[in-house]
A = this chain, B = another copy of it.
Amino acid sequence: MAIELKGLTKRSENYSQWYNELVTKADLAEQSAVRGCMVIKPYGYAIWEKMQQQLDRMFKATGVQNAYFPLLIPKSFLCREAEHVEGFAKECAVVTHYRLKNDPDGNGVIVDPDARLEEELIVRPTSETIIWGTYKNWIHSYRDLPVLCNQWANVMRWEMRTRMFLRTAEFLWQEGHCAHATAEESEARTVQMINLYADFARKYMAMPVIIGVKSANERFAGALNTYTIEAMMQDGKALQSGTSHNLGQNFAKAFDVTFVNKENQPEYVWANSWGVSTRLMGALIMSHSDDNGLVLPPHLAPIQVVIVPIFKNNDQLQKINETVAPIVAELEKRGISVKYDNSETKRPGFKFADYELKGVPVRLAIGARDIENGTVEVMRRDTLEKQVEPLDGITGFIANLLEEIQENIYKKALDHRNEMTRTVDTYEEFKAEIEKGGFILAHWDGTTETELKIKEETKATLRCIPLDGDKTPGKCMVTGRPSAQRVIFARNY
């Protein structure tokens, strides 16, 4: 896995190219031989695993259990919920046959025409249909409710233009699917999960997000209401980072899932679904990284601390090894993941650049003189600042430093978002401001017509109607009609 340290394009030169190069050079992912599908490499996958583990803990703490539903969905299932099929069924991978056979002409294998499926199967683009088809068997009485299931799975959407992590034909995600006895309970769960995502984004990804409601036009296909968390990338573009959908009784009706309520009356079940995907990897990369490479928040970094020895001969290395061993042990005891890289095939300068590229939050460099002095050089990846610290008490220092870095990169991202968020009152002003990027808070009349006009004319999309913040009514910047509150517009990924 050769690492090319040189030649990372600067963000200011070409942000998009910087991103693509960084994903590859930092060994996060690469394009595969299959159009639009990526290979997630071990280092990238290790970050995703840290995200998964934390999210999984948070889900389970709210009573959610994991389960697994089939990859393939009968075509007819997709058509049961009318809006859903409009939104999802079109661009997807279709399985039509179940067998290959040797080519009679001797050219490898061909699809066996005799092995055509009676009904085509779709590689799941999302699983509401197959899951609600299953819930019909699980739910009969209010005593069976709520059902709180999540699955970690791969899904496919045949996207035309793909970018690693941000938009790929196949991606990994989790999808939660809950069934409730009342509309209120389902709405409460929908809100609980978007708050959980926001909490995760802020505390673990060090990514400030705005919680809001999607407009009808941006709503999930088949939902009554979609909640979203919206993040701002360094280039000022918005990235939708997680969604939670109140599905009302739509899927219960489509799949005839009823229960006998406490009053002994049959009633359709209330549903919600919620998900985040490997797209979060793209969000993480674009939120914090710089022209030297990745900047990872300590709470998600697979390697939190790297220690690099500086030595001229084996004697020196030996002494450094002896000094470092107890530090490694102490860090591990504190639950800090540490790598001591004393490989002799690479020079320290190469190692420094490599771990910077990989976003390791804290680097220690220790040489013969340091041992004499009882010191170590500490570099923090977020600011690239170096300082010399006493070896005595170094693990406590590092533990504090990791938390400081976590807070600092969150604050940096928040400051950036605040700077790039403006309020405008006229459409002219809006058109000028949107060109500069960032979030624009503006009044909107609530219609899809106006929303689409704005999108058409400015490429800005309505990101969300924020739940918090200024709720002062006003007049739509385009039509002058009444607006209940300002909403957020931005260009987006």
Contact = CB atoms under 8 A, between A and B. Distances in A.
Contact of A71 (B49, B85, B123, B147): B123
B70 A34 contact: yes
A96 B97 contact: yes
A71 B37 contact: yes
Interface centre among A1, A78, A144, A158 (most CB of B within 10 A): A1
Given A67-B40, A70-B39, A154-B154, A111 B94 contact: yes
A266 to B, nearest CB: 16
Classify chain A: how many residues form its interface, as a range: 35 or more
A14 B164 CA distance: 52
Interface in A71-90: 71-79, 85, 89-90
A172 interface: yes
Nearest to A345: B143
Interface in A176-212: none
A364 interface: no
A109 B87 CA distance: 12
A149 interface: yes
A100 interface: yes
A68 B91 contact: no
B99 A90 contact: yes
Contacts of A92: 98-100
Contact of A33 (B130, B154, B172): B130
A121 B34 CA distance: 8
B49 A66 contact: yes
Interface in A335-389: 345
A134 interface: yes
Contact of A32 (B45, B90, B134, B147): B134
B79 A67 contact: no
A122 interface: yes
A46 B90 CA distance: 34
Nearest to A70: B37
Contacts of A149: 42
A67 B74 CA distance: 29
A115 to B, nearest CB: 8
Contact of A72 (B75, B96, B170): B170
Interface in A17-69: 30, 32-34, 37-42, 45-46, 49, 65-69
Interface string A126-138: 0000100110011
Contacts of A41: 67
A156 interface: yes
Contacts of A133: 32-33
Contacts of A100: 75, 78, 89-90, 92, 94, 122
A93 interface: yes
A108 B77 CA distance: 10
A70 B147 CA distance: 31
B42 A66 contact: yes
A140 B93 contact: no
A443 B211 CA distance: 70
Contacts of A111: 75, 94, 96, 120
Nearest to A43: B65
28 contacts: A2-B144, A30-B134, A32-B69, A32-B130, A33-B77, A34-B73, A34-B74, A39-B67, A39-B69, A39-B134, A42-B149, A45-B68, A70-B170, A75-B108, A79-B108, A79-B109, A85-B109, A89-B109, A90-B101, A93-B97, A93-B121, A94-B100, A94-B111, A95-B95, A95-B96, A95-B123, A100-B122, A154-B154
Given A37-B72, A72-B170, 11 more contacts: A2-B141, A32-B130, A32-B134, A33-B77, A39-B67, A45-B67, A45-B68, A79-B109, A85-B108, A94-B96, A153-B154
